[in-house]
């Protein structure tokens, strides 16, 4: 049964000429990938367009896939690249400075972990799942696309620093500093979102 076949084997079958295997892969990853892209772009229509572009690129780049590596991180990295291109074309939203202060780094870090695990709202949140989802998105919209991307890749993929460096093609030190800045930026954005409940309007 296809649900017992790994992503990597399915993609090998697709490369060997079985189009049904790609359909299975799309169905297997569509919920998580769309959710990731919606978080990254902040817009449902854009996320839908990027989703289609990502799987088109998967088809175009099929021969370049290294079968010794995992398929899912490859897919999400391609999707993130497509989302970055889309955001660049449309222009960026106003975003937080990297130096934005945080009241308490330890508390901020703990709250970040709770908030990103949005399937189960924190016990002291006082919000239902939909409210928490919306507030997390407003906080993410305050971040620069660069920091939002690495934060979401790390969250969805649970990749190590070394894996992030390889997939994003940046030095290990850059991964560490960028992810640290992303966590700090999200914590500060969450604090501001709690205060005013809004996000600055997009730039023209």
> What token pair was written down for 36?
């990731």
> What token pair was written down for 55?
């799987």
| H helix intervals, the chain | 7-15, 19-41, 44-60, 71-90, 105-116, 129-141, 145-157, 161-168, 172-196
What pLDDT band is residue 64 in, cutting at 50, 70 and 90?
A: very high
Q: Long-range contacts made by residues 17-26, C-beta under 8 angstroms, separation at least 24?
A: 22/55, 22/58, 22/59, 25/71, 25/75, 26/55
Under 8 Å between Cβ of 147 and 182: yes
Q: Where in the chain is the domain with CATH 1.10.1740.10?
A: 2-90
Report which DSSP code applies to 186: H
Q: Is 11 exposed, middle or buried (0-12, 13-18, 19+ CB in 10 A)?
A: buried
Q: What is the CA radius of gyration of the chain?
A: 18
Integer Cα distance of 144 and 163 in angstroms: 22
Per-residue pLDDT for 191 more than 70? yes
User: Helix, strand or coil for residue 176?
Assistant: helix
User: Helix, strand or coil for residue 121?
Assistant: coil
| Residue listed under structure tokens 């290990």 | 172
Under 8 Å between Cβ of 96 and 143: yes
Under 8 Å between Cβ of 97 and 50: no
Q: What is the pLDDT of residues 11-45, one digit of tens each?
A: 999 999 999 999 999 999 999 999 999 988 888 89
Q: Where in the chain is the domain with CATH 1.10.10.10?
A: 105-196
Report which DSSP code applies to 171: -
Q: What is the pLDDT of residues 102-133, one digit of tens each?
A: 333 344 443 333 334 433 334 444 556 677 77
Fold classification of 2-90 is Rna Polymerase Sigma Factor; Chain: A (1.10.1740)
Q: What is the pLDDT of residues 37-51, one digit of tens each?
A: 998 888 889 999 999
Considering the domain delimited by 105-196, tell me its CATH architecture: Orthogonal Bundle (1.10)
* Total-model pTM: 0.69
């Amino acid at each position: 049964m296809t649900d017992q076949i790994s992503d990597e084997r399915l993609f090998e079958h697709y490369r060997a000429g079985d189009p049904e295997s790609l359909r299975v892969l799309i169905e297997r990853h569509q919920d998580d990938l769309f959710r990731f892209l919606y978080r990254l772009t902040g817009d449902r229509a854009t996320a839908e367009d990027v989703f289609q572009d990502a799987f088109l690129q998967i088809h175009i780049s099929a021969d370049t896939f290294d079968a010794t590596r995992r398929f899912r991180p490859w897919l999400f990295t391609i999707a993130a690249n497509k989302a970055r291109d889309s955001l660049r074309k449309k222009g960026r939203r106003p975003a937080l400075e990297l130096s934005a202060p945080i009241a308490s780094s330890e508390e901020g870090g703990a709250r970040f972990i709770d908030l990103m695990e949005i399937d189960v709202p924190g016990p002291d949140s006082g919000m239902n799942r939909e409210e928490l989802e919306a507030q997390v998105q407003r906080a993410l919209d305050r971040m620069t696309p660069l920091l939002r991307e690495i934060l979401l890749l790390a969250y969805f993929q649970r990749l190590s620093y070394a894996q992030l460096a390889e997939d994003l093609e940046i030095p290990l030190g850059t991964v560490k500093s960028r992810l640290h800045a992303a966590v700090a930026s999200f914590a500060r954005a969450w604090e501001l979102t709690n205060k005013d409940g809004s996000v600055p309007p997009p730039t023209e």
